[in-house]
Amino acid sequence: MRLMQAPLPKTRSPYTELSRDIFLLSYFSAGINFKDISTLRYSNIAHGRIYYRRHKTGKEMNCRLTPTTVAIIDKYKRAGNIEDDYIFPILDGDIHKSEQQIYNRLHKVLAHINRELKGWSKRLGISPPLTTYVARHTYATVLKREGVNVALISESLGHSNIQTTQIYLDSFEN
């Protein structure tokens, strides 16, 4: 809530607001990871849900759009968007065409996003420092602490097996 409600700092980089939006979209969208967020296109949005294929496992995923996620997505709409356009200003289909170009761009932007999230952490007194993966971890931890079955958490995270999720959840308590 502190991150959601915090005003943007007076001096900021082009990644300050984007970093907050990526973190919040991940948390409110079942822990979707950075690469999957970065490659979302308008065609992935339908019937009040986000539909995508998880890059890491190839698993088909979907999650409900919330008012918060709709507001974040709407913030990045540009005039003349078409279904095949990326939602977030991370990848450009005219520039980032090869797997290597996409990998290099995502690696560079992820470093900027995580640096900005650490800045948010410092300004807001949040510890441990925020990263894109902390959003995913937080989503899973909230479910675990609410007593949600590990199999359901595993499915919502897109893990290929329940043992991965169990190791993942156990590591959070450490």
Written as one letter, the residue type at 106 is L
CA angle, 107 then 108 then 110, to 5° = 65
The reported pLDDT for the residue numbered 172 is: 66
In contact, 55 and 35? CB cutoff 8 Å: yes
The whole model's pTM is what? 0.92
Residue partners of 69: CB distance under 8 A and separation at least 6: 24, 25, 28, 29, 50
The reported pLDDT for the residue numbered 166 is: 83
132-153 burial string, b = 16+ CB within 10 Å, else e?
A: bbbbbbbbbbebbeeeeebeeb
pLDDT confidence band for 124 (50 / 70 / 90):
very high
In contact, 31 and 139? CB cutoff 8 Å: yes
The reported pLDDT for the residue numbered 105 is: 98
The torsion of the CA quartet 67, 113, 61, 83, rounded to 10 degrees, works out to: 70
Quick: pLDDT tens for 15-57.
999 999 999 999 999 999 999 999 999 999 999 999 999 999 8
Written as one letter, the residue type at 107 is H
Looking at residue 32, the DSSP 8-state letter turns out to be: -
